[in-house]
Each structure stands twice: as C-alpha cells, then as structure tokens.
Amino acid sequence: MEKFITHVGTAVPLRRSNVDTDQIIPAVYLKRVTRSGFEDGLFAAWRNDPEFILNKEPYKHGTILVAGADFGTGSSREHAVWALQNYGFKVIISPRFADIFRGNSAKGGLLTIILPQDQVEALWRAIEADPSLPVRVSLEERTVSYGSKTLPFEMDEYTRWRLMEGLDDIGLTLKQTDSIDAFEQARTAVKPATLPIR
C-alpha cells in the first residue's frame, strides 16, 4: 500500500448527501476479478448527465472529493473504494461516512476525512468560486488547508500510523500468530464447522 503523508490537489464539490455505494459503482460493474479498471463504473449513472460535476473542466481532474453527509452507505463492496482510487481520488471529505466504507478506504489507503457540515459548505463555496484552488491535506499534521484556512481533523493514532507507513494489515496480524494459536486451543468445542459436510 502506498504511504500517505501529504497530498496537494484540486477538489470536487459533490453537493449530495447519502451517496450510496450503488451510486459510486452500480452492481453491473462489479464483475471484474481484478482490482483495477473500475474507474469506468464510477458514478456511472450520474456521469451520463453532461451537467454532472465530474463531466466538467477542471473538476474532472480533481483528486479530493468533497461530499455531503453519509457518504458510502449501503453495500459493503470495496469496489467503491477501488473505483474512486482508480479514477484518481486520494482523499474524500464528508461530515459523516458509513462505517464499512470508511473501513474499506483505510485498508486501501484512500484517506477519509470528517469535517463538520459548516466547514464542508465553506469548502464547497471556495472550490466553486475557484475550481483550481489548491487544497492541501496533511495526515502528518491532521489538517486540511486552502486559501488562508487551516482546518484540523481527527484520525485515531493507529490508523494514521498505518496509513503513513503504508502497512499491510494482514502482515501485522500474522505477527500475532502465537496469540491466534493460543485462542484456538482454548476455543469452545460447541461451535460448528463447515467441514466435514453433514
């Protein structure tokens, strides 16, 4: 996984709440067995509309998506994260994220930042007034900056460390194999098993 320390890019205002993962990538686009190429399905239905924000210059080249509350609700499909990353997004900002989407993003190195609704609205206005406005996201400082503003955001220490180091969760867990072995030794016998087939 790529390390995330600082990112500077332009931002895209997506003035919608409850952007569910069926909108981020409709189910018919989920049939690939690879992790790449999902950008063609990103917001597929909305991108049919020439007025949709990602069909406009210069927003279509943005790398920071600024969305309304409850971004990523619905299906657990990690393809939603891959579609956003494959398209080129590095950061998503919203007042609130769905739990599974936020967890999936952290696994893949897509940074999700929670800012209060009023700060999101101020950012929307700023990037609508000046679409080429550079927005700087520092995970090291835990800040989003643009123009003269610097906004702090919260991120727990563990997730921040993992993202900044670009660490693979599975590798970290496999270092705890002794603990897993010990847990399995003590595990109750009444729990079912799928094999042998009964």
Partner 1 sequence: MGKTLAEKIWQEHVVRSVAGEPDLIYIDLHLIHEVTSAQAFDGLRLSGRKVRRPELTLATEDHNTPTQNIDLPIADPVSKLQVDTLRNNCAEFGVRIHSLGDIDQGIVHVVGPQLGLTQPGMTIVCGDSHTSTHGAFGALAFGIGTSEVEHVLATQTLPLVRPKTMAINVEGELQPGVTAKDVILAIIAQIGTGGGQGYVLEYRGSAIKALSMEARMTVCNMSIEAGARAGLISPDEKTFEYIKGKPHAPADWDAAVAYWNTLYTDADAKFDVEITLDANALAPFVTWGTNPGQGAPLNGEVPNPALIDDPEERGAAERALVYMDLTAGTPLKNIAIDTVFLGSCTNGRIEDLRSAAAILDGQKIASSLRMLVVPGSARVRLQAEAEGLDKIFMAAGAEWRNAGCSMCLGMNPDQLAPGERSASTSNRNFEGRQGKGGRTHLVSPLVAAATAIRGTLSSPADL
Q: Which chain residues interact with partner 1 by CB under 8 A?
A: 16-18, 20, 22-23, 26-28, 30-35, 45, 68-70, 73-79, 81, 96, 98-100, 103-104, 107-108, 117, 156-158, 169-170, 172-174, 176-177, 179-180, 183-184, 187-195, 197-198
Identity of the residue, 57 or 156, whose beta carbon is nearer to partner 1 in the bound complex = 156
> In the complex, what is the shortest distance from the CB of residue 164 to partner 1, in angstroms, rounded to a whole number?
15
Identity of the residue, 60 or 96, whose beta carbon is nearer to partner 1 in the bound complex = 96
> In the complex, what is the shortest distance from the CB of residue 145 to partner 1, in angstroms, rounded to a whole number?
25
> In the complex, what is the shortest distance from the CB of residue 5 to partner 1, in angstroms, rounded to a whole number?
21
How many angstroms separate the CA atoms of 97 and 103, rounded? 10
Identity of the residue, 57 or 196, whose beta carbon is nearer to partner 1 in the bound complex = 196
> In the complex, what is the shortest distance from the CB of residue 11 to partner 1, in angstroms, rounded to a whole number?
19
> In the complex, what is the shortest distance from the CB of residue 97 to partner 1, in angstroms, rounded to a whole number?
8
How many angstroms separate the CA atoms of 104 and 62, rounded? 21
Identity of the residue, 9 or 108, whose beta carbon is nearer to partner 1 in the bound complex = 108
31-70 exposure pattern, b = at least 16 Cβ within 10 A, e = fewer: eeeeeeebbebbbeebeeeeeebbeeeebeebbbbbbbbb
Identity of the residue, 9 or 74, whose beta carbon is nearer to partner 1 in the bound complex = 74
- Please give the radius of gyration of the chain, using alpha carbons only, rounded to the nearest integer: 19
Question: Does residue 163 contact residue 139 with C-beta atoms inside 8 Å?
Answer: yes
Q: What are phi and psi of 188, to 5 degrees?
A: -65, 145
- At 158, the amino acid letter reads Y
Question: Does residue 147 contact residue 42 with C-beta atoms inside 8 Å?
Answer: no
